[in-house]
Structure 1
């Protein structure tokens, strides 16, 4: 039977990347001092799993690198060597190389052969320096055996779990010479043979003076799906009989009882992995996106039916209206359930930063402590993937520009190690991600000087928030010299543009000598939002409900004109800028409103605005449609939606209006 192995590749690549993330996390934990057996074992198991899959699918270079890496990890796990800085650097380097090799195997992005050979050389140099032959002698003495007799009877479902007895035999052969006999007594008649089930058992003689743990490790992924017995074969042991069955021995007991105690609980991880596999499935994101799109269409259809039903006499359509109310509740529950499928903890992006912080701080000679908060906060997978690059830039900025060198911090009365914080939390209908440091803070005068030097419009007596906004101008940089980390003027403007494309906003708060805090506010999902429907002229607009504070009808005495052209509204002693949506979007100015204009108070980036509208239509959930992908970006518009009557309504970009009001010269 020919099996198309290509269909298993996607699973291998996904699991291998997860394994590399686990390896990197474990290695950084070991370097930080958490050198417990379970951490070492988790790194070893990830390398072993990647090696086994790579060998199965024929990715030989990946298998070669992980084999050498696995050997080094095995010695660390067995306590035969101490963890050194050289070993940590080499193993972290191997993670980078393996990522490149996976990219080559999956997407054809050629990995650098010189880097592959260089990392193999570094790993082997660490192994040679540790005198591995002494460790082997010690392990042999502990085993008190010249080889091993192995009874291996796979369970019927072993193939269905993705395992292959022949691959296991090939891994055993790497430990030493094998004599293998197949046992066919469990093979059913041809008529009852199921090619998807495993039937053949194996009796194996391994002529290798290796630790029993090394033999048991080969079977670690199948120990719950087979009958396995490993017995030490002494020099004077009786030879195998004609059938190849090992001679009886007192140690002929199940592996779990006979295994030599290891520094870690080796049996716990496979069981946990097996339980996890049973409680979750891998689903293509394309399928989930298609499901979300269908739910979105259902929302539009439900709104359409509800709008039509309003024209029916309620006396004759009482049951119809009750059914529509029930449909609306069920539709909302279905939306939330489907959207939750795409939600991932923000830790999926936070976990990449310990390595980045370690490498950058070491390179710049700085001491940095990374603190993460709210890692379990969930965010839409599409946002998770797109927020990573802006966060990387902000973290690099904090380490390069914000945090001082140890001696500078000490002289300023601070601890030598700076603190970089990544935090995530839910606030209203948004998720807020914070990147903050306790460094030197932004230099207000330096930013103003650079802005004037570049001819940027600077308000008279600008507030701090207006000054900080200047660093988001294209090409703006205060760096004295161009390096590969900064100074090219490509950065914060791209960060803001990327976040705006996700329907979010970014805000900076900084204090000299105390540090800088950058807040990113994002919608919980890109698919559906709660909105307030308003009318301006003959157009219907949607205000995202998460930004709306209140709606009111102001008195003439509450509105004042400032500097001849601006208007402000007094609300409970606070003066808010008034913006007419008619004027902003260029709607028909001749068409008079039927009633006195209303005002909707909104807030973004800590600043409130009073939006002047003609009518409040209602509140509803809307399906967000991207305009930029189908047309182009429009200032003041974050997207569009389809109403129940089939008309298109624009979604107001509240954050964009706030920024436009804050810096009118740059608008």
Structure 2
């Protein structure tokens, strides 16, 4: 059996352990550290070290070994934690993550970074613990050595720790036959199997191996849970006796001074002794363990995507069948069973689609968990005091969107920290708490997810933004609404920073944020009050694969409007339409004047209704603005499968994607904001609007 078969599992497990390690380090109270958190950080490093050594990832194993030793001193209270030490630990975690990625890419890790962090960690050990512990922080020469006890132990003889093979009994508890066969084959790679016996409840393997019990367990834990493994010395094995320990470490040996196996051989009548690192884990009942095993499964994302594509094709086929049945002229009793069957198929297809889509949904916690580190590091550079609050971490979003939303959110967070929240002394002078508050929240609203970045800082200054916009050559006016003024920060190259720093000030980033979010079918809205703070809201669809849409007809063409953008529809009256300067036309709806978009004009659709009063105005929202979109007919609401037009054809202005209708024809999904921009471009080359002379509309401009 090839041990490389377990590489992917190790990489995934190590990623999770490093993420847990970072979270615990960020949550540590330096003045009163929680022993459970310190133990959890130590266990994470210990597990990564064992797996890295077994799989031959030497650089990662050496780095983690030194890091683990320092953590061992910290959790025993032999080293006092400080903010700069935690910073170094976080740096070590980052380098370990880089090393892990290098091995994943089948490359060698950065040797310079490895040597630098090793020297830093060893220097900390010498300064904080003492020169006598230099040997304890030395780098092991082999990936998974049998470590000899430290020479400072006077009770120990040279024969008490042998480098020869050691007999171990590895017991597998409640492990199915398939996994048991896999584990036994893996044990053959780690030593010589002397004997094996037992049943599914308890299966014991006697192994002659030079690999430590800790490292064996670390490998096994990538397949089964720690509670399903017991490792003890075989009777008569040449193991180091339990009493061979340094006098000042009777409770538990350090990682560098542990014997070959963790526990001493128990008496025949005594139960096996668990490792010291596992004391906080209580074995679960068998029934509960069995339930946990069946509660999750690792599946390749490609397989999930394939299922989603097939379900999408099923939805299209179901729509075609539904269209065929509805077109049947004979609606006699003989077709009632067919109609009932189609209704059942439609309901089951929808349930299947929702169930499959839920597989790709992951909680926002995966995104929010990255920001305690971002806030901590950025606040440190800016010398600001920031409290981060997260809300709605369990809110779920499509995996593809989660991966793409991280960078835009990072820009927004750094922008709030730099431009929004004031310096502690300034806040205190304003009567605010010295510590600023930054809130990340997520919640569902209809078919969308709302992600907000809120701060209690200085807020935006309308006059400052307008002045800066004029200096930048942007076309602005004093009559612009606050919402339009706030949107100026997304203009390319726009920045109000007085000086350029490594955090912000170059005028790049915010325009990329808006462009990326629009590329995901979403929009950005900003609310701000001076001296009270700013709220940046991102509105995204829950998924990019399937959406609820409204079918509309313009001429002989059918288009799809995302239902989440549709607010209402009405019949426009001539007295409510006004001609504006520049051939623009607006529609008055309840004292609000909305720009009119004629789809037939923007997309050159023939045989469409040109009289606005005979059209239907669909009120839609895009990029925080509302528009009145003129259509010929509302067909109805339906669920459509989104097909990427840019991948299969090319990017089309005003169009975000395409779909296949029930009759097999292709319908274009409209992009509200892009359609408005396209409409303005077309108006520049056409004098009449909607093929109507300007005298058709009221000449007076709305106030």
Alignment of 1:525-564 (within 5 A): 525-563=543-581
The alpha-carbon deviation at position 185 of structure 1 amounts to 5.5
**Contact 1:593-1:614 within 8 A present in 2 as well:** no
Q: 1:218 to 1:428 in 2, by over 3 A?
A: closer
Which residue does 1:225 correspond to in 2?
229
Which residue does 2:447 correspond to in 1?
429
Which residue does 2:380 correspond to in 1?
362
The alpha-carbon deviation at position 623 of structure 1 amounts to 0.6
Aligned match for 2:320, one of 283, 304, 329:
304
The alpha-carbon deviation at position 655 of structure 1 amounts to 4.6
Aligned match for 1:612, one of 630, 647, 668:
630
The alpha-carbon deviation at position 540 of structure 1 amounts to 0.8
**Cα distance in 2 between the residues matched to 1:144 and 1:526:** 68
**Contact 1:229-1:252 within 8 A present in 2 as well:** no
- The C-alpha deviation readout for 1:45-85, integer Å capped at 9, x for no partner, is 22122112211211110111111112222233334333233
TM-score with structure 2 setting the length: 0.79
**Contact 2:572-2:613 within 8 A present in 1 as well:** no
- The C-alpha deviation readout for 1:183-211, integer Å capped at 9, x for no partner, is 845479xxxx99xx9864158999x9xxx
**Contact 1:466-1:663 within 8 A present in 2 as well:** no
1:522 aligns with 2:527: no
**Contact 1:229-1:253 within 8 A present in 2 as well:** no
**Contact 2:547-2:641 within 8 A present in 1 as well:** yes
3-state secondary structure, aligned to 1:424: strand
Which residue does 1:175 correspond to in 2?
none
Tell me how many residue pairs correspond in the alignment: 628
Which residue does 2:508 correspond to in 1?
490
The alpha-carbon deviation at position 647 of structure 1 amounts to 1.6
**Contact 1:37-1:263 within 8 A present in 2 as well:** no
**Cα distance in 2 between the residues matched to 1:34 and 1:646:** 67
Which residue does 1:113 correspond to in 2?
111
**Cα distance in 1 between the residues matched to 2:393 and 2:188:** 42
1:345 aligns with 2:363: yes
The alpha-carbon deviation at position 657 of structure 1 amounts to 5.2
1:289 aligns with 2:297: no
**Contact 2:492-2:511 within 8 A present in 1 as well:** yes
1:253 aligns with 2:258: no
3-state secondary structure, aligned to 2:397: strand
**Cα distance in 2 between the residues matched to 1:273 and 1:40:** 26
**Contact 2:608-2:632 within 8 A present in 1 as well:** no
Which residue does 2:82 correspond to in 1?
84
3-state secondary structure, aligned to 2:453: strand
The alpha-carbon deviation at position 168 of structure 1 amounts to 8.0
Aligned match for 1:26, one of 20, 24, 27:
24
Which residue does 2:143 correspond to in 1?
none
**Cα distance in 2 between the residues matched to 1:652 and 1:601:** 14
Aligned match for 1:201, one of 164, 186, 206:
206
Alignment of 1:15-414 (within 5 A): 15-31=13-29, 35-108=33-106, 111-131=109-129, 152-155=169-172, 160=182, 165=187, 184=194, 186=196, 200-202=205-207, 222=226, 224-226=228-230, 228=232, 233=242, 253-256=270-273, 265-267=280-282, 276=292, 278-312=294-328, 313-315=330-332, 316-414=334-432
**Contact 1:62-1:98 within 8 A present in 2 as well:** yes
The alpha-carbon deviation at position 601 of structure 1 amounts to 2.1
**Cα distance in 2 between the residues matched to 1:72 and 1:403:** 36
**Cα distance in 2 between the residues matched to 1:509 and 1:10:** 44
**Contact 1:145-1:232 within 8 A present in 2 as well:** no
**Cα distance in 1 between the residues matched to 2:624 and 2:444:** 16
**Contact 1:29-1:35 within 8 A present in 2 as well:** no
Q: 1:86 to 1:126 in 2, by over 3 A?
A: farther
Q: 1:12 to 1:402 in 2, by over 3 A?
A: same
**Cα distance in 2 between the residues matched to 1:248 and 1:43:** 28
**Cα distance in 2 between the residues matched to 1:144 and 1:254:** 31
3-state secondary structure, aligned to 1:579: strand
Q: 1:267 to 1:543 in 2, by over 3 A?
A: same
3-state secondary structure, aligned to 1:49: helix
3-state secondary structure, aligned to 1:628: helix
The alpha-carbon deviation at position 461 of structure 1 amounts to 1.9
The alpha-carbon deviation at position 233 of structure 1 amounts to 4.7
- The C-alpha deviation readout for 1:612-644, integer Å capped at 9, x for no partner, is 110111111001112233344333322111111
The alpha-carbon deviation at position 649 of structure 1 amounts to 1.1
Which residue does 1:470 correspond to in 2?
488
**Contact 1:38-1:264 within 8 A present in 2 as well:** no
Q: 1:592 to 1:467 in 2, by over 3 A?
A: closer
Please list every run of 5 or more consecutive structure 1 residues that lacks an aligned counterpart in the other structure. Answer: 170-181, 236-245
Q: 1:300 to 1:6 in 2, by over 3 A?
A: same
1:415 aligns with 2:420: no
Which residue does 1:646 correspond to in 2?
664
**Greater CA deviation, 80-89 or 422-431?**
80-89
**Cα distance in 1 between the residues matched to 2:605 and 2:626:** 23
The alpha-carbon deviation at position 656 of structure 1 amounts to 4.4
